[in-house]
Structure 1
Amino acid sequence: MNRQLQTIALRNLEQQLNVQPTSLHLKFEKACLLAEMGRMIEAQNEYLEILAIDPTHRGSLNNLGTLLHESRYRSAARTAYTQAVTCHPDDPMGHVNLANLLFEEGEMESAREHFERALELNPNYYQAHQGMSYILTQLGDEQKAMFHRRLGFQHHAITELPFRGQRTPVRLLLLVSTTSGNTPIRTALTNQIFHVFIVFVDFLDEHIPLPQHDVVFNAISDADLAESSLTAAQCVIARTTAPVINSPQAVLETGRLHITERLSNIKGVITPKMAIMPRRQLASSDAVSLLQECGFEFPLLLRAPGYHTGQHFEKVGTPERLSKVLAGMPGDALFVIQYIDTRAEDGLFRKYRVMMINGKLYPLHVAVSKDWKVHYFTADMAKNADNRSEDAFFLKNMPDVMGSRGMDALKAIQKTLGLDYAGVDFGLSANGDIILFEANATMVVNPPDPDPLWTYRRQYVDNVHTAVQQMLIHPKI
């Protein structure tokens, strides 16, 4: 419905409400229309008015939750979805909405329970099959994941997201894999600017026409996990003349082992020795001697391909620990990585993250921790003002922190990657060398928590999101 027709429809609804001011049906129609028109605050208020009269109103609870989720009020969205499930336990939509949010929060078991409940209620509810496929992939059960993947995506390879802006949208084709391994880019894709069509490339029939679009963003980013999806993405791109962000071919060159080799010759970059080894070799009685023959010493690191945020990534301190650590790792092959002690003189570990967007560098954070496996939101940041001050100083003064050697190395890494959207995680040696942790397109840019504690970070996260948006609005031809 175009803007003129929406305005006429809204006027008609308001006239009907003047006659029937207590009609929840009319108020709900008005709220839905306001949301469609991008008048989000008014739509939320209408849903709240309905819920004040009927706290169990199914459509208002689910739609309000969706609007709050889109606006990044995740806690409030969770409350709305939970209420929807509580009031309507036999409605699969509420269970799927809540499950998707729980999955994003990393609460896998709770998410799985709600997806399974939705499928008990409606075995053909394809959104629940999609969710189950992602859950099972994370749990390493690929056989069951594929079962749900087929039921979820076979006839639903394109999903259109609602556009809620006032002006002509940028029509964006977002290519993703159904096996995960995607760039978590959605937070930058505001529906006030972008009309997004998600294309699940693994199940796209070549005879189905692509939606009209202005630009393509290949969000398939994990070359180790999603090689077949990147190949499928190349077939999709062959069908369009629109500008493409993050060429699948360039992403294919960023597997963890391959990129370490590619970056090893850059001046000012230290890359750890790395190999991928079959589980059977690592589990054999001569595993330690095999590792030594390959040049590895203890301690060393084991990592399962395709996992991020520290999942299935462990330090093996001694040969005696190898079998125990291996038992808890999924997959038929694992990365073996040289352990480099990156502690500074103060005994703390640091992980820097810099984003690389459209040819420019954007500092995102430095996380400070007592543990070797550093992640920002599990590091010693929230409770340590000194660490936050160090983070803030890095954000404001990246060139001073990095020095000319480090900045030159970052620019060389960006050039070597050849990606429009990427990031690099690293430590710094005493002489300013970058100690590479990883460099690829999988990097997440999470909005800071609303707590005023993180106010200093907002501008820098917004800088990244703005850079992504401008790259998509004005792509290079």
Structure 2
Amino acid sequence: MLHPLSAPNYADRIGFAHLTRKAFEGVDLHPLRDQLLARIAEGTAQAGEGLDLSLIAQLLGEKEAGLVIQTEVLAFHQLFRTPSTAPKPGLRVLALAADIDMGGNTPIEFLLEGSDIELLTLYVIKGSGLPETLPDHDVAIVVASDSEECREALTVIEQAAPRWPRPLLNRPDLIGNLDRDKLYRLLADVPGLDIPATVHATRAQLLDLSQGRIVCGDITEELHFPMIARPRGSHAGVGLAKLDDAAALAAYLVERQEQDFFVARFVDYASPDGLYRKYRLAMVDGKPYACHMAIADRWDIWYLNAYMAFSEEKRAEEAVFMLDFDRAFAARHRHALDEMSRRVGLDYFIVDCAENQSGELLVFEADNTAVVHNMDSPVVFPYKPPQMRKIFAAFTAMLSRHAKARDEAGEGSAA
């Protein structure tokens, strides 16, 4: 039962964006880690410092240790504040997060960069659920992902959603649409959009396929070699492979220990010049924005392995992509993007996509937790800061619009 809003009992923290930026810029985080460890040893550390220490450990590659610290902190304190840079906040946003690694919640702090918004993050913990009295806020947004580890948190929020006292964005029942094996069913018949069927396959099924006891069509009708395989639940390309035939599948299974996988047909989306171009879009309030364009001579491309910083020619093409986005890429795929946004139904999400060789929008995945940031060097990427600020402005305008709509509708209703 949700009770009236109260003055929040939060703990301040340095926060995700600030610490990640330091790591990105090459700042040595070990001295800060040691300082926080000393405060914990003395018994003088605050809850926010404990959460910062958890993140520092993860940024230093100590993921398991960081998660242990985080879980220990969240056992006794769940509400944290990332202060606004403005003397007086213009808006109070409540982010509803899960106890998961640093990539498992929407990195909303980056999106609020330079704004007058005060961010409160409430961790919805297994067994604890939501507090009886919610902290006062103007608008709330669910930042937990569609991953298995977040299911319980999403269920708790979903049960409370109909009685939420403020506008609630990225509603939990819609976040599940982003699962790899659900998204393709949701978007399968959108005109001008190509999304390969991504289906769950067990290790036993793939072993049978590799040994000729079953055929691709026994797993799903449109599957064929070459195919894409990845361990279920993996991210950032971990375990991702293109398998050309049964022998390649057999060799892949020798290397992987997982029991569950996602498989899909391979789409050769190479451009006429032989290079692959992969795009990241932010969908904000139903409108697409360009986040980046990665260009490489390999199909398994993401921004880091495209080495964009080392190619003036690639960066020049990315700059044109961003500059002309509204009248070029977004215009070409307007109907597909509009329909995708409508069906997914989220206020904010990210799409990784390309164009197939027929010119259709080829969708690889969509999620609500990919990092959209303004950390790249303005010297090397002078065209990026204005584009990132455009996305941030759209995001904060969306939050303000929902808060304002509620105010205009009266105290008791949500936008």
TM-score (norm 2): 0.80
* Residue in structure 2 matched with residue 83 of structure 1 by the alignment: 31
Calculate the aligned-residue CA RMSD, in Å: 3.2
Conservation of the 8 A alpha-carbon contact between 2:51 and 2:73? no
Does the alignment pair 1:321 with 2:321?
A: no
Does the alignment pair 1:172 with 2:93?
A: yes
Go from structure 1 to structure 2 and tell me whether the alpha carbon gap of 1:450 and 1:285 turns closer, same or farther (over 3 Å shift). closer
Distance in 1 (CA, whole Å) between partners of 2:23 and 2:78 is 27
For the residue of structure 2 that corresponds to 1:347, the secondary structure is: coil
Go from structure 1 to structure 2 and tell me whether the alpha carbon gap of 1:254 and 1:98 turns closer, same or farther (over 3 Å shift). closer
Distance in 2 (CA, whole Å) between partners of 1:75 and 1:417 is 32
* Residue in structure 2 matched with residue 270 of structure 1 by the alignment: 194
Conservation of the 8 A alpha-carbon contact between 2:15 and 2:82? no
Conservation of the 8 A alpha-carbon contact between 2:268 and 2:356? no
* Residue in structure 2 matched with residue 260 of structure 1 by the alignment: 184
Q: Which residue, 320, 323, 342 being the options, matches 1:396?
A: 323
Go from structure 1 to structure 2 and tell me whether the alpha carbon gap of 1:305 and 1:200 turns closer, same or farther (over 3 Å shift). farther
Conservation of the 8 A alpha-carbon contact between 2:210 and 2:247? no
* Residue in structure 1 matched with residue 302 of structure 2 by the alignment: 375
Distance in 2 (CA, whole Å) between partners of 1:166 and 1:345 is 53
Go from structure 1 to structure 2 and tell me whether the alpha carbon gap of 1:69 and 1:88 turns closer, same or farther (over 3 Å shift). closer
Distance in 2 (CA, whole Å) between partners of 1:367 and 1:304 is 24
Structure 1, unaligned stretches of length 5 or more? 1-35, 37-62, 116-127, 132-148
* Residue in structure 2 matched with residue 123 of structure 1 by the alignment: none
Distance in 1 (CA, whole Å) between partners of 2:195 and 2:25 is 43
Instruction: Give the deviation of 1:336 after TM superposition.
Output: 0.7
Equivalent pairs counted in the alignment come to 380
Per-residue CA deviations over 1:63-86 (Å, capped at 9, x if unaligned) read 9x879936944467833x423456
Between 1 and 2, higher relative CO (CA 8 Å, sep ≥ 6) is seen in: 2
* Residue in structure 2 matched with residue 298 of structure 1 by the alignment: 225
Per-residue CA deviations over 1:73-119 (Å, capped at 9, x if unaligned) read 4467833x423456797554699756623524xx424x556x5xxxx
Amino acid at match of 2:294: A
* Residue in structure 2 matched with residue 101 of structure 1 by the alignment: 56
Structure 2, unaligned stretches of length 5 or more? 1-11, 406-414
* Residue in structure 2 matched with residue 51 of structure 1 by the alignment: none
Once the two structures are superposed, the pairs formed by residues 12-31 of structure 1 within 5 Å of their partners are none
Per-residue CA deviations over 1:371-396 (Å, capped at 9, x if unaligned) read 11111122131111111111111101
Does the alignment pair 1:232 with 2:181?
A: no
* Residue in structure 1 matched with residue 110 of structure 2 by the alignment: 187
Q: Which piece of structure 1 moves more, 92-101 or 443-452?
A: 92-101
Amino acid at match of 1:101: I
- Structure showing greater Rg: 1
Does the alignment pair 1:243 with 2:167?
A: yes
Distance in 1 (CA, whole Å) between partners of 2:319 and 2:79 is 41
Instruction: Give the deviation of 1:238 after TM superposition.
Output: 4.2
Instruction: Give the deviation of 1:269 after TM superposition.
Output: 0.7
Distance in 1 (CA, whole Å) between partners of 2:373 and 2:256 is 27
* Residue in structure 2 matched with residue 440 of structure 1 by the alignment: 367
Instruction: Give the deviation of 1:317 after TM superposition.
Output: 2.8
Distance in 2 (CA, whole Å) between partners of 1:209 and 1:455 is 46
| Greater strand content | 2
For the residue of structure 2 that corresponds to 1:346, the secondary structure is: coil
Per-residue CA deviations over 1:175-199 (Å, capped at 9, x if unaligned) read 1121353222221234862332222
Does the alignment pair 1:129 with 2:68?
A: yes
Once the two structures are superposed, the pairs formed by residues 196-215 of structure 1 within 5 Å of their partners are 196-203=119-126, 204-206=128-130, 208-215=132-139
Instruction: Give the deviation of 1:298 after TM superposition.
Output: 2.1
Distance in 2 (CA, whole Å) between partners of 1:474 and 1:238 is 20
Distance in 1 (CA, whole Å) between partners of 2:106 and 2:162 is 21
* Residue in structure 2 matched with residue 428 of structure 1 by the alignment: 355
Identical amino acids, percent of aligned pairs: 24
Go from structure 1 to structure 2 and tell me whether the alpha carbon gap of 1:287 and 1:229 turns closer, same or farther (over 3 Å shift). farther
Instruction: Give the deviation of 1:285 after TM superposition.
Output: 7.2
For the residue of structure 1 that corresponds to 2:235, the secondary structure is: coil
For the residue of structure 1 that corresponds to 2:281, the secondary structure is: strand
Per-residue CA deviations over 1:394-451 (Å, capped at 9, x if unaligned) read 1011245437542221122112211110122111124421111112323321223235
TM-score (norm 1): 0.71
Once the two structures are superposed, the pairs formed by residues 31-46 of structure 1 within 5 Å of their partners are none
* Residue in structure 2 matched with residue 18 of structure 1 by the alignment: none
Distance in 1 (CA, whole Å) between partners of 2:36 and 2:133 is 38
Distance in 2 (CA, whole Å) between partners of 1:429 and 1:66 is 39
